[in-house]
């Protein structure tokens, strides 16, 4: 039991920020601390089922995704459809602008892209967040979503096409 606590503690220190950022994107809110905690509680309880088929981070992200889905069901509202203000300080859409005008324009573009992502259907949104925003590999994304790699490739391609049509962005802007 002590070794399980040690493993979960190490994983918490290594991956809690990644889990937090994923849940921010996935839920559309920055109030996800309880979900992060629930993710690691579930991981602790299910550590015996972890079979090293994927990285601990991938396994934890899949747990976090399920925790977020469960939370949405409990509240009986679709939190992933809500387009709340994005917390620039906690997300990876950090602006690299050098002038205040450039920063404002970049933030508006990123907010527009974020809102467009949140309007996608659930499967598209999941794969865009994991592949496009969080930069997971096809294999990691397939593990998290419990899909075949071919489905990840196809769904990601279709999601990007839908996102481009919906937002009016060109391919290089995504």
CA quadruple 3, 140, 144, 168: dihedral sign: positive
- Asked if the model's pLDDT at residue 4 lies above 60, the reply is yes
CA quadruple 149, 151, 154, 159: dihedral sign: negative
Highest-pLDDT range among 63-67, 92-96, 113-117, 169-173: 63-67
CB atoms near residue 65 (< 10 Å): 21
pTM of the model: 0.61
**Which CATH class, in words, describes the domain spanning 93-174?**
mainly alpha
Give 3-state DSSP helix, strand, coil % of the chain, rounded to 5: 75, 0, 25
Task: Quote the percentage of the chain above a pLDDT of 90.
Answer: 37
Contact predicate 91/75, CB 8 Å: no
Q: For residue range 39-98, list pLDDT tens digits in order.
A: 999 999 988 888 777 889 999 999 999 998 888 777 654 433 333 333 333 344 444 445
pLDDT score at 13: 94
According to CATH, the topology of domain 1-82 is Rna Polymerase Sigma Factor; Chain: A (1.10.1740)
Query: Residue 55: which residues within 8 A CB-CB, separation 6 or more?
Result: 140
Contact predicate 117/130, CB 8 Å: no
CB atoms near residue 56 (< 10 Å): 17
Cα(49)–Cα(52) distance, integer angstroms: 9
Domain-wise residue ranges, the chain: 1-82, 93-174
């Amino acid at each position: 039991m002590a070794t399980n606590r040690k493993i979960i503690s190490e994983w918490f220190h290594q991956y809690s920020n990644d889990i937090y950022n994923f849940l921010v994107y996935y839920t559309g809110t920055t109030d996800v601390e309880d979900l992060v905690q629930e993710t690691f509680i579930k991981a602790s309880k299910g550590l015996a089922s972890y079979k090293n088929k994927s990285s601990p981070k991938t396994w934890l992200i899949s747990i976090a995704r399920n925790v977020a889905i469960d939370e949405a069901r409990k509240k009986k509202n679709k939190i992933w459809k809500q387009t709340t203000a994005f917390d620039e300080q906690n997300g990876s859409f950090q602006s690299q602008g050098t002038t205040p005008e450039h920063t404002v324009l970049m933030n508006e573009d990123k907010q527009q892209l974020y809102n467009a992502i949140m309007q996608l259907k659930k499967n598209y949104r999941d794969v865009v967040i994991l592949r496009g925003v969080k930069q997971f590999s096809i294999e990691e994304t397939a593990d998290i979503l419990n899909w075949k790699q071919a489905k990840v490739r196809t769904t990601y391609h279709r999601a990007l096409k839908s996102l481009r049509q919906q937002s009016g962005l060109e391919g290089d802007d995504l």
